[in-house]
Amino acid sequence: MIPVTLIMAITLDGKIAKNSQHFANWTSPEDKKHFFKISKEFGVMMMGENTFKTLPGVLPGRLNVIFSHKKAGYEEKDLKYVSGEPEKVLEELEALGYKQALLCGGTFLNSLFLEKQLITEMIITIEPKIFGQGLSLFDTEANYSLELKELKKINNNSLTLRYKIIY
């Protein structure tokens, strides 16, 4: 099965958004540039329907895979709606020639992939914000160790961390 890397920006208090409709305009320009570069390198990015709705549209030059029970099976250029077990979606992506996949949220999908131990590494940008309340990176009980692979300061106040998950 192809490896999955979770990429997310979080606040210092671990929130990815204030709510499911919160547009990701709170992240730094450097984080956005980093996300676009990484997602193009991976060639495929997977997300839930609510997360997709917070984007300005289909990101060109990479396959946008959207998990949705309502629209599963719909496809157009650079866009594919899917439903069902993540393992089957990953097998289908592998059959299409992809060597890796990027997971871009939200909370429910992140948790589902983590529970099934499908995430091999995480790329997390920590932004200098505090929301207090909101959506967390995961909403499931977990107890995994991480191995820090890379740490970068992307501007005066933001860090990007790359971790390997140890199951």
- What is the average pLDDT score of the chain? 95
Locate the domains of the chain by residue range.
4-166
Predicted pLDDT at 117: 97
C-alpha to C-alpha distances, 123 to 22, 115, 165, nearest whole angstrom: 21, 18, 11
Mean pLDDT of 140-158: 97
Predicted pLDDT at 62: 97
Predicted pLDDT at 7: 98
Report the alpha-carbon distance of residue 103 to residue 94 in Å, rounded.
Answer: 15
Predicted pLDDT at 83: 94
Binned at pLDDT 50, 70 and 90, residue 56 comes out as confident
Predicted pLDDT at 42: 97
- Express the helix, strand and coil content of the chain in percent, nearest 5 each: 25, 35, 45
The distance in angstroms from the start CA to the end CA of the chain is: 16
Contacts of 85 (CB under 8 A, 6+ apart): none
Mean pLDDT of 18-34: 91
Q: Are 113 and 6 in contact (CB under 8 A)?
A: yes
* CATH superfamily to which 4-166 belongs: Dihydrofolate Reductase, subunit A (3.40.430.10)
Q: What percent of the chain has pLDDT over 90?
A: 87
